[in-house]
Amino acid sequence: MRMPATRKRAVAAFVAGALPVFSFPAPALWWFAYVALVPWLLLLRTAPTGRRAAFEGWLGGTGFLIAVHSWLVPNLHVFIVLLAALLGLLWAPWGWLVRALLGAAPSAWRAALAVAAVPSGWLMIELVRSWQGLGGPWGLMGASQWQVPPALRLASVGGVWLVSLLVVAVNTAVTAAIALPRARLAGIVAVLLCALVTGAASAWAPRPQVRGHARIAVVQPGVIAGVDRRLAREEELTRALAGQRLDLVVWGESSVGEDLYARPGLTADLAALSRAVGADLLVNVDARRTGATGSDGGIYKSSVLIGPRGLTGQRYDKMRLVPFGEYVPLRSVLGWVTSVGRAARENRLRGTHQVVMELPGGGPRIGPLICFETAFPDMSRNLVRDGAQVLVAQSSTSTFQDSWAPAQHASLGALRAAETGRSMVHATLTGISAAYAPDGAPVGRRLPVHSSTAEVYDVPVATGTTPFVRYGDWAVYGALGVLVALGATVGVRRFSGPGRGR
């Protein structure tokens, strides 16, 4: 029995939407991102109607989201399909837009317009789904270019948003060059222009000025069952760092499972450890807060700085929590998901503001981020604007060791470093830990998954301001302007020309 053509197109749309994800986990496949959208674009432009193009846009968006979040399947089970289908609706108007601009036999001018408008539409989707309540900015197209120096230079100008625009623009131009004989030259010219813009940004963008170095150690205990056993291993690895002239020792997310205000003995042990290694410790407390003054009894994840004399009073409470992992949105309605997956049994509480921490002895000012907060460009940008000289991320990813999530998470540090012109150190409990220079280049070795070790990174301390830190999300506003101008032009032509009002 032969599959109907409409069903074949539906399956093809779903699969085509998932294809771009192959450019994320493997660094050697960074180039694939520039053509990964082409099959989907070719399918959408040949849709028989705008409604069908919107439907195939939705199917492709659903496939993309399931693929990019496939590592969450053990936690959410079948619920991930429902979430992907709901968020996949964001691609429905984008599918309609692709057909409207590239369908039939468009002129060279309309193809050129598509190279500007189709990426702008895609960026609006990335912007909406980047809202923390919808899962955050995980799997942005620009994030696939974290090991490409020219793309990182572009990120310093307009953030990951500008890189996403470039990637989708090249895909659109390649589609025009392949499928549209009348617009083939326009497509080729558009590809060359994208290359020219990237090269110009690489040459023009100011480079960070290195004024010194900081020695920051990362402690990665590995997969160890039991909070007490893991703490003992963290202390053992930290003690072995004595005598290495460190500025800071960083432990991973949830490295301490008890409230330090309520456990003076544990705090004293950590202070003694700080004295032994000659550096402050940045630990991460995942516990119910019971001992602090004014405690509300809720569970927080907090970056806590401990010095030779104990608590320094510098603490950052995680602000952006992982949906379902650390809280359940609309728990009164969706609380049932805790019975079918590993969703949070109790909502953790949020911090209210970001914190820049001071290290003693003239050490660099550090800006802490926790877990998937490294995916949000605005958080690292705000820390640098507030004076952070080095960004420090504390993560775990212990639930997802055998997936591509640890590698993808660690790679985000390269983007945040390049965007802000500040070194970034990414410390995890179980891998992958890594460090990046202010231009996004790797520093030292990446600690592999499952390893139990400590590593010292000699990271540059840079000054200066990147265009992204100075001007922020201008690429997003530019994309929005393109879509508004397109809508206004179409509206004026439709209601002022012959046959107006149709």
Domain assignment of residue 438, yes or no: yes
Q: Are 298 and 377 within one domain?
A: yes
Q: How confident is the model at residue 258 (pLDDT cuts 50, 70, 90)?
A: confident
Q: Report the C-alpha gap between 37 and 171 in whole angstroms.
A: 6
SS3 for 401? coil
Q: Are 223 and 94 within one domain?
A: no
Q: Report the C-alpha gap between 458 and 446 in whole angstroms.
A: 13
DSSP state of 323: B
Domain assignment of residue 343, yes or no: no
Q: Which two tokens stand for residue 55?
A: 């439907």
Q: Are 144 and 261 within one domain?
A: no
| Amino acid 239: pLDDT | 95
Range of the domain at 178: 9-205+472-496
Q: Which two tokens stand for residue 206?
A: 């100011």
Burial class (CB in 10 A: 0-12, 13-18, 19+), 257: middle
| Amino acid 10: pLDDT | 93
Q: Is the peptide bond before 432 cis (omega within 30 degrees of 0)?
A: yes
CATH number of 281's domain: 3.60.110.10
The total of structural domains in the chain comes to: 2
- What average pLDDT score do residues 109-129 get? 94
Q: Are 155 and 245 within one domain?
A: no
Under 8 Å CB-to-CB from 241, ≥6 apart: which residues?
Answer: 217, 219, 249, 277, 279, 454, 456
Domain assignment of residue 330, yes or no: no
Q: How confident is the model at residue 498 (pLDDT cuts 50, 70, 90)?
A: low
Using a pLDDT cut of 70, give the percent of the chain over it. 90
Question: Whole-model pTM?
Answer: 0.91
pLDDT at residue 427 above 90?
yes
Q: Are 149 and 221 within one domain?
A: no
Domain assignment of residue 143, yes or no: yes
Phi, psi of 250 (to 5 degrees): -115, 125
| Amino acid 393: pLDDT | 97
Q: Are 254 and 393 within one domain?
A: yes
- What average pLDDT score do residues 26-31 get? 77
| Per-residue pLDDT reduced to its tens digit, 153-195 | 999 999 999 999 999 999 999 999 998 887 888 788 888 888 8
Domain assignment of residue 328, yes or no: no
Q: Are 237 and 295 within one domain?
A: yes
DSSP state of 33: G
Q: Are 255 and 390 within one domain?
A: yes
Q: Report the C-alpha gap between 442 and 430 in whole angstroms.
A: 19
Which residues is 315 bridged to in the sheet?
304
Strands (E), 86-233: 209-220
Q: How confident is the model at residue 1 (pLDDT cuts 50, 70, 90)?
A: very low
| Amino acid 499: pLDDT | 53
Cα angle at 371 between 352 and 373, to 5 degrees? Answer: 55
SS3 for 209? strand
Say if CB 106 and CB 182 are below 8 A apart.
yes
Q: Report the C-alpha gap between 51 and 483 in whole angstroms.
A: 20
Q: Which two tokens stand for residue 176?
A: 């025009």
Q: Which two tokens stand for residue 363?
A: 């050490």
Domain assignment of residue 340, yes or no: no
Burial 403-414 (b: 16+ CB within 10 A, else e): bebbbbbbbbbb
Q: Which two tokens stand for residue 357?
A: 């921490």
**Kind of pairing, strands 366-370 and 453-463?**
unpaired
| Amino acid 335: pLDDT | 59
Nearest to 161 by CA among 405, 478, 432, 423: 478
| Amino acid 502: pLDDT | 46
Domain assignment of residue 17, yes or no: yes
Under 8 Å CB-to-CB from 24, ≥6 apart: which residues?
Answer: 68, 139, 143, 144, 404, 408
Q: Are 105 and 228 within one domain?
A: no
Q: Are 283 and 302 within one domain?
A: yes
Using a pLDDT cut of 90, give the percent of the chain over it. 59
Domain assignment of residue 133, yes or no: yes
Give the strands of the sheet with 453-463, arranged side by side: 310-317, 299-307, 280-288, 248-251, 209-220, 453-463
| Per-residue pLDDT reduced to its tens digit, 268-327 | 999 999 999 999 999 999 888 875 554 567 888 999 999 999 999 999 999 998 777 676
Q: Are 181 and 230 within one domain?
A: no
Q: Are 162 and 234 within one domain?
A: no
| Per-residue pLDDT reduced to its tens digit, 53-64 | 999 999 999 999
DSSP state of 337: G
Q: Which of these ranges, 2-6, 52-56, 317-321, 350-354, has the smallest mean pLDDT? A: 2-6
Burial 444-461 (b: 16+ CB within 10 A, else e): bebbebebbebbbbebbb
The mean pLDDT of the chain is: 88
Q: Report the C-alpha gap between 236 and 224 in whole angstroms.
A: 13
| Per-residue pLDDT reduced to its tens digit, 428-460 | 998 799 999 999 999 999 998 888 999 999 999
Q: Report the C-alpha gap between 477 and 289 in whole angstroms.
A: 41
- What average pLDDT score do residues 352-378 get? 93
The dihedral through the CA atoms of 114, 84, 409, 355 has a sign that is positive
